Amino acid sequence: MKVHFESLTVATRGKGTYEVTPQVNAIVRESGVRTGSATVFLQHTSASLVIFENADRSARVDLETYFERLVPEGAEYFTHTSEGLDDSTSHIRTALTRSSEVIPVAGGHLQLGTWQGIYLFEHRQAPHRRRLAVSVIGE
Amino acid sequence: MKVHFESLTVATRGKGTYEVTPQVNAIVRESGVRTGSATVFLQHTSASLVIFENADRSARVDLETYFERLVPEGAEYFTHTSEGLDDSTSHIRTALTRSSEVIPVAGGHLQLGTWQGIYLFEHRQAPHRRRLAVSVIGE
Amino acid sequence: MKVHFESLTVATRGKGTYEVTPQVNAIVRESGVRTGSATVFLQHTSASLVIFENADRSARVDLETYFERLVPEGAEYFTHTSEGLDDSTSHIRTALTRSSEVIPVAGGHLQLGTWQGIYLFEHRQAPHRRRLAVSVIGE
């Protein structure tokens, strides 16, 4: 049995989706795990993770537009406003998506479907450096 | 320590929720794992997983109706429309629910609560064959 | 390799968010796992888990207010109403958040970010005793 832990950092340029599949694939390769599972965990509360369609950029545009409407910035009932109009909104968008994604590993590879990519979903307007913790367990 | 990996396929008949708890239970049994955890991962971006009330069908009807309203088909601002009115909607509904569910195993059994079942949530109108990857790790 | 399983119970006083990070930290310590991952799983369908901002209570107030609006109690199209106006609403809010959170462990500690706490999100008006199953795997 093997256990591998590694951190990685992703620089975002403000709101949007940023693919991290290649970085996670590299960590799985380094782990030497052939069969098991990988946990990708984002150590922030104003950005999140989604596994999403990776073929056509327009699908991600629609996701981003949808979230702008579902959780609008600066709702009149928000009380947590000291860090800007996109603050509470960012936390709520994170709660509606995920802080972690867990993906089985077999044959030494993440068992993602053909059209699946792992995306960091940045909810803040300003660029941020986001840290991910990745653990891979198996044999 | 044991690591077990298995795929399974579920045929859907269009939109709705389809229980997969028995199939996942069978994989946990075959794995021989007594204590550990099971990861159920859906290899698609237009269907998702939820752990949901398994006693009364009406609860799932309300879930399905709610999602029809929360993410309506064919919103006027969708740009990803080449595969039909239910395409972007399906991806967004997936982002709002889950691609994987992770469930502890103890005494050789999934530690689901009394009223919890694992459901595949199909978001496309047409029938599909959906593949799940299941890994079980423990001793 | 080590596998550790433990249950814990949290008493809720009705709707709201209840931090469980200290209890999960204690289980990780007891497990003796230095590197691996912890799975926190809630065995109920009318309460859920979120990893959320732990510094300023106002962020959680906004989350709770937002969910009251996103999934209002007693929607006129709900059919699953025998257990009260907050019944279907609770299940749907659970589907929109999570039944489990998986967090990498390194150096013997949960790899949560500085501002992240693990919260039980109670969706029922009445107090409940909620059971969580926690498994920790690693070395």
CB pairs below 8 Å between A and B: how many?
97
Model pLDDT for residues B33-84, shown as the tens digit of each residue: 999 999 999 999 999 999 999 999 999 999 999 999 999 998 999 999 888 8
Tell me, what's the pLDDT at B66? Answer: 98
Chain C residues with CB under 8 Å of a chain B CB are 1, 3, 5, 39, 41-46, 70-71, 75, 77-80, 82, 87-88, 91-92, 94-96, 98-100, 102, 131, 133-135, 137
For residue B95, pLDDT beyond 90 = yes
* DSSP string covering C94-127: HHHSBSEEEEEEETTEE---TTEEEEEEE-SSS-
A35 chain-B contacts, CB cut-off 8 A: 3, 5, 135
Of the pLDDT bands very low, low, confident and very high (cuts 50, 70, 90), residue C71 is very high
ipTM of the complex: 0.97
Q: Give A137's contacts (C-beta < 8 A, 6+ positions apart).
A: A1, A2, A3, A4, A33, A36, A37, B137, C36, C37, C137, C138
Min Cα separation C21/chain B (Å) = 18
Summary mean pLDDT of chain C: 97
- Residue A106, φ and ψ in degrees, nearest 5: -145, 145
Residue C83 confidence (pLDDT): 86
- With left for phi above 0 and alpha for psi between -120 and 50, is residue C103 left, alpha or beta? beta
- pLDDT at position A49 over 90: yes
Q: Which residues of A touch B84 (CB under 8 A)?
A: none
pLDDT score recorded for residue C82? 84
Full set of structural domains in chain C with CATH: 2-138 (2.60.120.460)
Residue A82, pLDDT above cutoff 90: no
The reported pTM is: 0.98
Task: Dump pLDDT digits (tens) for C2-61.
Answer: 999 999 999 999 999 999 999 999 999 999 999 999 999 999 999 999 999 999 999 999
How far apart (Å, rounded) are the C-alpha atoms in residues B73 and C98?
A: 24
Contact A37, B135 (CB under 8 A): yes
3-class SS string, A33-99: CCCEEEEEEECCCCEEEEEEECCCHHHHHHHHHHHHHHCCCCCCCCCCCCCCCCHHHHHHHHHHCEC
Has residue A83 got a pLDDT over 90?
no
Q: Which two tokens stand for residue A101?
A: 């994604």
Confidence of residue A15 (pLDDT cuts 50, 70, 90): very high
Q: Cβ of C115: how many Cβ atoms within 10 Å?
A: 17
Instruction: Tell me if C39 and B102 make a contact (CB, 8 A cut-off).
Output: yes
Collapse the DSSP code of A139 into the 3-class scheme (helix H, G, I; strand E, B; otherwise coil) and give the result.
coil
Cβ atoms A5, C104 nearer than 8 A: yes
Q: Quote the pLDDT of residue B103.
A: 98
